[in-house]
Amino acid sequence: MNSSETWLVPAQDGRRFMAAIGIGLLVELAALALLLPVMSQQQPPARQQSVVKISIQAPPQAPKPLPPTPKPPPPTPQPPQPVTPPKPVPTPPPRPAPQHVVHHSVPPHPAPPPPPKAAPPVPQTPPTPPMPPAPSLGEVDQFRSAMRSAVQSVANEVYPQAAQMAHETGAPEVTFTYYNGAVTNIALAHSSGFPLLDQAAIQAARIAHYPPPPSGFAGRTYTVTVEVIFQMAAPSVDGD
């Protein structure tokens, strides 16, 4: 074997080896291409890691010190001013003492008293006429009878209708004061037992017309008591 053949053998073997390696790589790549989709579905997606940003700042610089405040200059001393004394207050002159002037008043002359007035004449009272003589007993009986007749004359006018329907009869007594033809102080002296008749008797004494006082009764006060009779009128009988 010549030298040229000796170098050819290793060269062919090397190409075969490289071809075998290339084929193997292709087979593996094809297998990976088939397995990648399956592996991507089975494996969970990778978690995203949160990124925390940290910023580091430089410390603040200390403030610069302020320049010192300049002190004010000391005040300039001034020369003392002269003190002016206060002006004296003038003293007011003393007031003159008040003088008391005494006025001597001359008493006025007393006025002459007025002349005394003449006393009015005293009216002379006419002499009181003498009282008439007291009436006799007969005159007193006549006067009492006149009083009774005056009251009885109006008894039928004041006889209550209700008392008549109830057949109430009686003779109550009334008393009153008589003076110069006027009657006062009328009151019931004795009851009849029927209130309607008692009130009617007082009413009769109040409205009766009394005669004037006869001679011997004028100017005198009398207390009179009379009886007022209330009775049913008897029915009239007509004869042939």
157-162 long-range contacts, CB within 8 A, separation 24+? 157/204, 157/207, 158/200, 158/203, 158/204, 158/207, 159/200, 159/230, 160/196, 160/197, 160/199, 160/200, 162/196
Q: What is the CATH number of domain 137-227?
A: 3.30.1150.10
User: Which tokens belong to 22?
Assistant: 């290339």
- The terminus-to-terminus CA distance of the chain in angstroms comes to 228
CB 152, CB 144: distance < 8 Å: no
Q: Is the Cβ–Cβ distance between 228 and 151 less than 8 Å?
A: yes
Of 139, 124, 105, 119, the closest CA to residue 218 belongs to: 139
Per-residue pLDDT tens digits of the chain, which is 240 residues long: 444 444 444 556 667 778 788 888 887 787 777 776 656 555 555 555 555 555 555 556 666 777 777 777 777 777 777 777 777 777 777 777 766 666 656 566 667 777 777 777 777 777 776 666 677 778 888 888 999 999 999 999 999 999 999 999 999 999 999 988 889 999 999 999 999 999 999 999 999 998 888 777 788 888 999 999 999 876 555 544
pLDDT (0 to 100) of residue 96: 72
Query: What pLDDT sits at residue 103?
Result: 61
Q: Where are the domains of the chain?
A: 137-227
**Per-residue confidence (pLDDT) for residue 4, from 0 to 100:** 44
